[in-house]
């Protein structure tokens, strides 16, 4: 776990202090959670025990500190206590596209899904390329309450691919990484300078590898299904060619690079070879890529229009294997909520993306049900894995860490109804899927922000 101080993580210390005159059981940040099965993937703890929270942090697991006194006791027998999820790649649409969703609506949906930290890419309006925009997002998130919103800064000014952003200032303002997302760089020389700059300040660079010329406006995996449906395809080479260029620059610059939204077997193989060679690289995959494939586009369901596209069954199985073996250590949502009209157009013209906050944990835990991962490894992919990647003092259940925690009922059975989703976006291909297990309570920095029957016991 990182020892990075709160101020270096973009966390407002004043916001974490309990307010004066807090309401017992709701605003107060002193809790005893009794009798839960505590699962901490960072330490591999799996035990029925008690957890003690004081202000924003976990102060003890097992036995209470000698001076600890608290009236807020949560009886959690039969439930699991897990670290709050960290979603390392999700769009909330605000600022700039509030007709699709807002920070308030999506932060609420996140906490109901057990997500306590959400990292948003820089393609907002205005772009996250100055400290002022970072502060704006932070203020709106604090007013909204709920999940913590962390910014990913722009690699270049206005994402134009030409002029480098002031990455050091963005890091100081609280950005956890920088990225140019899918916006192309002017040339590799600019990308090299950007990676050298980032490496100087040890800033993580997040790359979504896709060569724009090879993708050429496609909307589906280039293969037999796309050909039969008459859909413009995106070849595997669009991902792997872009990835190969970045790997060559990593060798030159030593910059830390995380590849987000990997979708192909060849990309997973390239990542594994690079990690074996000692390069400071890592990879992430969106949860839907582990369950869907090009076959799901056969019905022209616009909810299956995503970028990168749903690939072949072979690619999906290779991604599952890479996640199982730890080659890919992070699973994220790639949350992209849309209004109804955005998905009403024909498949090629529909806006790409899935409303995915509320399916991140259910899909990840389904990997346990189908034998891909054990429980601790599955939780690691969405908690301690992204925490280590982003150097956050979270993602675990241990003294000294932030009290970002969730209670989970493993016996709950439910069916996803898109109209019951808390996100403004109802665009999901998982409507009608049956899931087992559900979040019952969520704490962010020691404050209960979501829960059923939250009155103190």
341: annotated active-site residue: no
Surface-to-core class of residue 84, CB atoms within 10 Å of its CB (0-12 exposed, 13-18 middle, 19+ buried): buried
55 close to 16: Cβ distance less than 8 angstroms: yes
The H or E element containing residue 269 is: helix 265-276
Distance in Å from the first CA to the final CA of the chain: 33
58 close to 401: Cβ distance less than 8 angstroms: yes
Rounded distance between C-alpha atoms, residue 260 and residue 395, angstroms: 19
Rounded distance between C-alpha atoms, residue 82 and residue 79, angstroms: 10
Residue of 160, 334, 341, 404 marked active site: 334
- Tell me the DSSP string of 384-434: HHHHHHHT-S-SS-STTSB--EEEEEEEEEEE--GGG-SSS----TTTT-E
Rounded distance between C-alpha atoms, residue 43 and residue 52, angstroms: 17
Rounded distance between C-alpha atoms, residue 150 and residue 394, angstroms: 13
* Closest listed residue to residue 322, CA positions, set 257, 271, 377, 376: 271
Catalytic residues: 334
């Amino acid at each position: 776990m990182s020892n990075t101080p709160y101020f270096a993580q973009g966390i407002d210390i004043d916001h974490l202090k309990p307010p004066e005159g807090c309401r017992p059981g709701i605003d107060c940040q002193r809790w005893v959670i009794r009798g839960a099965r505590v699962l901490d993937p960072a330490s591999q703890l799996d035990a029925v025990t008690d957890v003690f929270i004081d202000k924003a942090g976990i102060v003890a697991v097992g036995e209470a500190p000698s001076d600890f006194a608290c009236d807020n006791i949560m009886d959690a027998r039969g439930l699991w206590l897990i670290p709050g999820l960290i979603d390392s790649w999700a769009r909330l649409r605000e600022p700039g596209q509030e007709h699709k969703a807002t920070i308030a609506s999506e932060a609420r949906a996140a906490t109901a899904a057990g997500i306590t930290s959400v990292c948003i890419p820089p393609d907002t309006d205005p772009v996250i390329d100055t400290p002022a925009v970072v502060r704006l997002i932070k203020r709106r998130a604090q007013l909204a309450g709920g999940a913590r919103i962390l910014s990913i800064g722009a690699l270049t000014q206005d994402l134009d691919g030409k002029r480098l952003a002031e990455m050091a200032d963005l890091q100081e303002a609280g950005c956890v990484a920088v990225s140019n997302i899918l916006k192309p760089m002017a040339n590799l020389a600019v990308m090299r300078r950007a990676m050298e700059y980032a490496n100087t300040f040890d800033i993580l660079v997040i790359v979504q590898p896709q060569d724009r010329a090879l993708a050429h406006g496609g909307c589906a995996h280039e293969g037999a299904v796309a050909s039969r449906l008459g859909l413009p395809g995106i070849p595997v080479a669009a991902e792997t060619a872009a990835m190969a260029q970045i790997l060559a620059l990593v060798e030159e610059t030593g910059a830390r690079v995380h590849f987000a939204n990997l979708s192909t077997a060849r990309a997973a193989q390239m990542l594994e070879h690079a990690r074996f060679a000692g390069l400071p690289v890592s990879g992430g995959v969106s949860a839907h890529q582990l369950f869907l494939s090009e076959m799901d586009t056969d019905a022209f369901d616009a909810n299956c229009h995503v970028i990168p596209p749903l690939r072949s069954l072979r690619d999906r199985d290779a991604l599952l294997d890479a996640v199982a073996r730890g080659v890919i250590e992070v699973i994220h949502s790639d949350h992209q909520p849309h209004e109804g009209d955005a998905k009403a157009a024909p498949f090629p013209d529909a806006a790409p993306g899935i409303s995915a906050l509320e399916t991140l944990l259910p899909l990840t835990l389904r990997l346990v049900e189908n034998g891909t991962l054990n429980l601790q490894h599955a939780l690691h992919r969405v908690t301690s894995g992204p925490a280590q990647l982003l150097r956050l003092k979270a993602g675990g259940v241990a003294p000294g860490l932030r009290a970002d925690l969730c209670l989970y009922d493993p016996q709950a059975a439910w069916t996803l109804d898109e109209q019951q989703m808390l996100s403004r976006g109802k665009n999901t291909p998982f409507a009608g899927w049956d899931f087992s297990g559900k979040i019952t309570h969520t704490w962010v920095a020691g404050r209960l922000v979501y829960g059923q029957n939250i009155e103190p016991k």
